[in-house]
Amino acid sequence: MNPAFFQEIEGILHTERIDAYRQDGADQQSTLARYLLNMALSEALYPTLQFSEIALRNAVHRELANRCQTEAWYDSPQARLTSWQCDKVTEAKDTLRRLHKPLSSGRIIAELNFGFWTGFFNNPHARTGIGSYLSRTTFPHAPSSEQVQAKLARRWQNIRDLRNRVFHHERILHWRDLETRHQTILEIIGWMSPQLRDLSASLDRFTQVRQDGLTPWLDKLHNNWPAS
């Protein structure tokens, strides 16, 4: 690969970001190919991660609306929200007010972040009973042995860790358990909706990108920006 081309790219993307891909002293072409492969893996994971987040949000919303007998369950004492979750609901409402948008339940639900929803499976909700309730009702297609709050909390924490790295453009290339994490996401989507899991799988390109590895990116760099 043309070294002048690499230097230009390195200057734009920032040396520290590129350094993460050449810690073993890799040459310029391999370093940039790793960066591109990492981007491709993140892109390939995005639909599955998005489906899991949206499915969880909507499933929890549905079950808590049924439990509290109101679409505005986040205002009901029966929801047993933690103080942190109450703060997030207040922030969501404040954001909508600033944007001069109505405080409809749909808008408030959409404004709450992923951590709010996965928080229902954390320890505080083991004491409120909400965690146990949602572990059963939100995942109707899961084996009974997996409808356990502590197990679901670990699963969602792992998904959140991967999701945050993907969405913040961080390195995941070196994670040896990426295939397992990917399958875990598809599995938990299937526990909420087998149909959505099938749709996720039909769009999924992660396995192919992972299997192809560096070769397509090395070839692309060599063919388009040769050293000569």
Q: Tens digits of per-residue pLDDT, 26-69? A: 999 999 999 999 999 999 999 999 999 999 999 999 999 999 99
Q: What's the rounded Cα separation, in Å, for the pair 76 and 109?
A: 14
Is residue 56 within 8 Å of 192, Cβ to Cβ?
yes
Q: Which of 169, 215, 174, 165 is nearest to 21 (CA)?
A: 174
User: Does pLDDT of 89 surpass 90?
Assistant: yes
The pLDDT score that the predictor gives to residue 68 is: 97
Residues 6+ away with beta carbon under 8 Å from 41: 172, 173, 178, 206, 209, 210
Other CB atoms within 10 Å distance of the CB of residue 164: 13
Q: Which of 6-20, 113-127, 170-184 has the lowest mean pLDDT?
A: 6-20
> Residues 78-107: what's their mean pLDDT?
97
> Residues 101-121: what's their mean pLDDT?
96
pTM of the model: 0.92
The pLDDT score that the predictor gives to residue 139 is: 98
The SS3 of residue 141 is coil
Question: What does the block give as tokens for 153?
Answer: 């909390």
Task: Calculate helix-pair angle for 149-167, 178-192, nearest 10 degrees.
Answer: 120
The pLDDT score that the predictor gives to residue 129 is: 93
**Confidence class for position 227, pLDDT limits 50, 70, 90:** confident
> Residues 165-173: what's their mean pLDDT?
94
